[in-house]
Amino acid sequence: KNEVEQSPQNLTAQEGEFITINCSYSVGISALHWLQQHPGGGIVSLFMLSSGKKKHGRLIATINIQEKHSSLHITASHPRDSAVYICAGARSQGNLIFGKGTKLSVKP
């Protein structure tokens, strides 16, 4: 079993739809990162969470420490949101353990 698992692997949405990507993680991980990787390959850090909820624009990330689960929501999705979204758990020294990513495609 992978230490960080996310779902779904692929997601196609229509512009304007509300999107949710889920991530479950194992013991030993107490901070969760959400990353975005565009087709060109670059990785951007979206959120780092250790508790509660964070919001940035149309993106919302939540974490439930007891259930070891995090979600990334995108409201009013747009074609420019099309990317791979990666959930990563942080170890004690900060190094990351990555999920396999969710490839999101938003159609106009």
Q: Residues interacting with other proteins, by CB under 8 A?
A: 30-31, 33, 35, 41-45, 48, 50, 86, 88, 90-98, 100-101
Nearer to other proteins, 36 or 77 (CB): 36
Residue 108 CB burial class (10 angstroms; 0-12, 13-18, ≥19)? exposed
Quote the least distance from Cβ 31 to other proteins, whole Å: 5
CA atoms of 85 and 46, how far apart (whole Å): 9
**Cβ contact 3:29 at 8 Å:** yes
Quote the least distance from Cβ 108 to other proteins, whole Å: 28
Nearer to other proteins, 3 or 17 (CB): 3
SS (H, E, C) 65-81: CCCCEEEEEECCCCHHH
Quote the least distance from Cβ 43 to other proteins, whole Å: 4
